[in-house]
Amino acid sequence: MKVPFVNIGLQHRQIKSEILGIVSELLDSGQFILGGDLVKFEQSFAQLCGTKYALGVANGTDALFLSLKALGIGPGYEVITAPNSFLASASSIHIAGGTPVFADVREDFNLDPVQVRKAITPRTRAIMPVHLTGRPAAMDDILAIAKEFSLAVVEDCAQAICSVYKGKPVGGFGDLGCFSLHPLKNLSACGDGGVITTNNDALYEQLIKARNHGLRNRDECEFWSYNSRLDNLQAAILNIKLGKLSEWTARRREIAAYYIERLSGLNIILPIDKPSEKAVYHTFIIQSGRRDELKEFLAAMEIDTKIHYPVPIHLQVAARYLGYGLGDFPVAEAQTGTILSLPVYPELTDLQVEYVADTFRKFFKN
Ligand SMILES: *Cc1c(COP(=O)(O)O)cnc(C)c1O
């Protein structure tokens, strides 16, 4: 039985005719930029995150970058983030003009508040927790540190739409929440897209101009800025997908629960919710000392797995100027040798999920 790591085509099977219908309507109306579908999407998204506002932008990296700019991050300022994230968490800080500073993570892949505190300097301006794998970061501790040192908080929610921490969805804890709608994310556009969430009126007013050339209205420009809008066509498609999101999230959690049940008792670390969390399993990552062998064994049985991510950001060539080296973040570095992501998308059949668990168990019995 083949189990690919992703299958984006399958996701569209149930909603294809609806999508084609809306695309056809929009081709006739020509409503492509800042149209009604975008407004509707932004309202639904804000409601989903329990925030006052949501703002569509061109992609998740722009969501982070524009958010940091809106907070005044620039030369001389440091932003603390996780070294084990997708590289855009750090690159967005650099392209905003600031300096990424890393702090090590805990067993659950999220920022360790103790290490965040140690990374604070007089130049620190903000903390960017990443809700990596769809599991919420330790927001109570991070918000307490931010308050103590008067730091802003930008949540990188790219992998974590609808992920819940202490009863509240991510995206509304910090000053700003940043989401990606990349085709591989839990809610995805048919191309690139991103969203910024906030409860802050002033930041919202700033960002609505910042994503659209700095324009206050059609003819008056307040400051030079970027063109980083979410296409109305994408928003229209996303409105259809939003209707499926809770079902898809429930299915991801169902598959994760099954894996956890079937794989417990083996000599591995499983990604289990704490009582305060409801993870959305963008990825399902186990940790094993025999990772490479295991990956090979599963591949031979036609089960595709991935490593998120094999090279931590602080050891990337692009980050060399920051002066970090091997040994700086022992937990994150050790995890790169043990982590393995199993297929966890909603369209997996029960038979496929059972086959993954059975095959996985077989490896540890041998
Ligand atoms: C995907 C992702 C991003 C970037 O989003 P894009 O839409 O691809 O620009 C940023 N941070 C994390 C953690 C991501 O997973």
**What is the model's pLDDT at position 60?**
98
Percentage, residues of the chain above pLDDT 90: 99
pTM here is 0.98
Q: Which residue's alpha carbon is at the smallest distance from atom 7 of ligand 1?
A: 60
Ligand 1, residue 193: give the atom nearest the CA: 7
pLDDT category, 328, cuts 50, 70, 90? very high
Report the atom number in ligand 1 closest to the C-alpha of 282: 15
CA of 359 to the centre of ligand 1 (A): 31
Dump pLDDT digits (tens) for 116-169. Answer: 999 999 999 999 999 999 999 999 999 999 999 999 999 999 999 999 999 999
pLDDT at 366: 72
Peptide bond into 321 cis (omega under 30): no
What's the rounded mean pLDDT across residues 176-180? 99
- CA of 59 from ligand 1 middle (Å) equals 8
Average pLDDT over residues 346-353: 98
Q: Which atom of ligand 1 is nearest to the CA of 88?
A: 10
Q: Cα–Cα distance between 156 and 164 in angstroms, integer?
A: 14
**pLDDT over threshold 90, residue 5:** yes
Average pLDDT over residues 212-225: 97
Q: How many Å lie between the centroid of ligand 1 and the Cα of residue 343?
A: 19
236-270 pLDDT, tens digit each: 999 999 999 999 999 999 999 999 999 999 999 99
CA dist 196 and 82 (Å) reads 20
The C-alpha angle with vertex 286 and arms to 64 and 177, in degrees rounded to 5, equals 15
Distance, CA 130 to ligand 1 centroid (Å)? 10
The domain over range 8-239 is classified in CATH as 3.30.420.480: no
Query: For residue 85, which atom of ligand 1 is closest to its CA?
Result: 13
Is 245-365 in the same CATH topology as 8-239? no
**pLDDT, average across residues 56-60:** 98
pLDDT of the residue at 94: 98
How far apart CA 5 and CA 101 sit, in angstroms, is: 32
**pLDDT tens readout for residues 69-98:** 999 999 999 999 999 999 999 999 999 999
Say if strands 176-180 and 194-198 run parallel, antiparallel, or are unpaired.
antiparallel
Check: CB of residue 255 under 8 Å from CB of residue 3. Answer: no
Q: Which of 86, 91, 105 to mutate to test the pocket of ligand 1 (most atoms within 8 A of CB)?
A: 86
Residue 183 pLDDT exceeds 90: yes
Mean pLDDT of the region 331-342: 98
CA of 10 to the centre of ligand 1 (A): 22
Atom of ligand 1 nearest to the CA of 181: 7
The alpha carbon of 8 and the centre of ligand 1 are apart by a number of angstroms equal to 17
pLDDT of residue 306: 98
177 forms bridges with which residues in the sheet?
155, 197
Instruction: List residues near ligand 1 (CB under 6 A).
Output: 59-61, 85-86, 88-89, 130, 156, 158-159, 180, 182, 192, 194
Mean pLDDT of 37-66: 98
Q: Where are the domains of the chain?
A: 8-239, 245-365
User: In this structure, how many other beta carbons lie within 10 angstroms of the beta carbon of residue 201?
Assistant: 10
179 pLDDT exceeds 80?
yes
Closest residue CA from atom 6 of ligand 1: 60
272 alpha carbon to ligand 1 midpoint, in Å? 23
Ligand 1 centroid distance, CA of 86 (Å): 6
CATH of domain 245-365: 3.90.1150.10
Record the tokens describing residue 229, joined without a space: 């809008």
Quickly tell me which residue has 């989903």 as its tokens: 48
| Residue from 66, 180, 185 whose mutation best tests the ligand 1 pocket (most atoms within 8 A of CB) | 180
pLDDT at position 365 is: 87
